Amino acid sequence: MPRNPKLFIHGCAYPITFRAQTGLPLACHKYMKTIIESKLAQAARVHPVILSDCTIMANHPHLTIVVIDPNQVDQFVKHLKAETAHIINRLFGIPKRNVWEEGYDSPNVLDLESLIERTIYTYSNPQKANLVDTIE
């Protein structure tokens, strides 16, 4: 069954997340974080969005973007996923493997309180997963 199209509104903030394929050795190392952050900056430059928040977990990123052009959001995510997949495949010597699961989650945030709750979740997630001792 086809999904409903995503609705993005200029100037609004949206949390975005997507997951790595199950079993992929995508540990949360500094080099992997650097790769994803580098491609995140590239994707935002090519398909303009404002990156508000970013936390990279072992198998998925949590992003919050502010939409500049609603027509660019899907392309931004596709670019980010494709470019990180190319580098990760080369790094692990895996020819053309799907690194990321299909699609992405981008729930509508309807008010400031909900956005603040999502931001708290984004930054506290590594501590809740026992990956770090504090969120500082």
User: What is the spatial distance between Cα 100 and Cα 13, in angstroms, rounded to a whole number?
Assistant: 23
For residue 67, what are the β-bridge partners? Answer: 49
User: What is the spatial distance between Cα 20 and Cα 93, in angstroms, rounded to a whole number?
Assistant: 17
The closest of 104, 91, 103 to 24, measured between CA atoms, is 91
Query: With bands split at pLDDT 50, 70 and 90, how would you rate the model's confidence at 131?
Result: low
Asked if the model's pLDDT at residue 129 lies above 80, the reply is: no
Q: Per residue in 60-106, pLDDT tens? A: 899 999 999 999 999 999 999 999 999 988 888 888 778 899 999 99
More confident residue, 22 or 73: 73
87 burial via Cβ count (<10 Å: 0-12, 13-18, 19+): middle
The fold adopted by the segment(s) 13-128 is: Alpha-Beta Plaits (3.30.70)
Largest CA distance in the chain: 44
More confident residue, 132 or 67: 67
Asked if the model's pLDDT at residue 119 lies above 70, the reply is: yes
**Domain residue limits, the chain:** 13-128
